[in-house]
Chains A and B, each alone.
Chain A
């Protein structure tokens, strides 16, 4: 099963390894990212931070077999870099039945994005993509750590309208 698909510009880092993996009881992290998969330095660096007993699979999105991950008995955490990557994954067979929750962990500032939480910056494009995911049945939540309260998509949209542009 895939208890969580996390959007994180930083991919594998402390919040994921120290907080989410213990919370979910995951033994496997799938890093679905084309750039990381094609970069030997990134692959070497990512394997060096893994605690004993946790395995990381780093592969291009198109090479991930989402139905197989969902069918596995052990929980698997899937990491992608951008909101658009989740949509790409749905094109490759990812459904809300396999992975009910899409978590927004760290989405950095870029032109047109506004600060919606301390670690999540989204623009109109990302919000539209998230709305499509939500309409398809995914639960969208923004939070960096499992100990924080989740912030839903409706609240994110409200904050976007209330936030100053820039």
Chain B
């Protein structure tokens, strides 16, 4: 049941991302908390959302060039982390989150392949529309446009639960069999999160981006450390 809900959410995100609307609902920052909510752990979804959003800030569709599928990967990572955290009874920790990322991130590339498949299938819809128009059915011809939506929905609805299930199977087993790994994986998560912010800056391509990035990080850190010292 929960996998069905997750599949529906991932499918909707895949459609919102390209075929309908584009209102940022399929971006990691929205989708990861929603996936967490759907599986009963909003906090877990919120934990992974900011680094994933920043990591894939540059995943944009320019013309015919396809980006990696940040929505599919995000749905799988967030859900995988939540499910693994629930299985362990710890909730989503840094180590669990990194485990889910390592297992599910390649889905971003798989999703791009799925997008290519969808594009090729859609050419058939156009051919059918041309045939309908030739038969003097203009309204039926253009309505075929909407038949482009089910395939991306189905592909993401299938792949995201699969990825989440893989993470839910692998990550708890790993952490249970070697508990010493938790600290290392946790540190790995924070390194991943740091890299994600760098990915975000690179995607924004601002002038003097490096300086802005460094200064903002240093000031934030200084303020935080001073506040902590005062407390």
Residues of A within 8 Å of B64, CB to CB, are 106, 118-119, 144
Give the distance to chain B from A35, nearest Cβ to Cβ, in Å.
20
Chain A CB within 10 Å — which of B62, B63, B66, B116 has the most?
B63
A130 CB to nearest B CB, Å: 20
B227 within 8 A of A: no
Name the B residues within 8 Å of A145 (CB-CB). Answer: 62, 65
A14 touches B63 (CB 8 A): yes
Query: What is the total of A-B residue contacts with beta carbons within 8 Å?
Result: 27
Contact A18–B62 (Cβ < 8 Å): yes
B113 to chain A minimum Cβ distance, whole angstroms, is 12
CB-defined contacts of A22 to chain B, threshold 8 Å: 205
Contacts of A135 in B (CB 8 A): none
A27 at the interface (CB under 8 A from B): no
B119 within 8 Å of A (CB atoms): yes
Minimal Cβ-Cβ distance residue in A for B205: A22
Query: In this assembly, does A19 line the interface, its C-beta being within 8 Å of a C-beta of chain B?
Result: yes
Cβ contact within 8 Å between B205 and A119: no
Residues of B contacting A144 in the complex (Cβ-Cβ under 8 angstroms): 62-65
| Chain A residues near B119 (CB-CB < 8 A) | 118
Interface residues of B in 56-95 (CB under 8 A from A): 62-66
CB contacts (< 8 Å) of A18 on chain B: these are 62
The minimal Cβ–Cβ distance linking A11 to chain B, given in whole angstroms, is 12
CA distance A27 to B116 in the complex (A): 33
Binding site for A on B (CB under 8 A): 62-66, 116, 119, 205
- A119-B64, A144-B64 known; 17 new pairs, CB 8 Å cut-off, are A13-B63, A14-B62, A15-B62, A15-B63, A18-B62, A19-B62, A19-B65, A22-B205, A106-B64, A118-B64, A118-B66, A118-B119, A119-B63, A144-B62, A145-B62, A145-B65, A148-B65
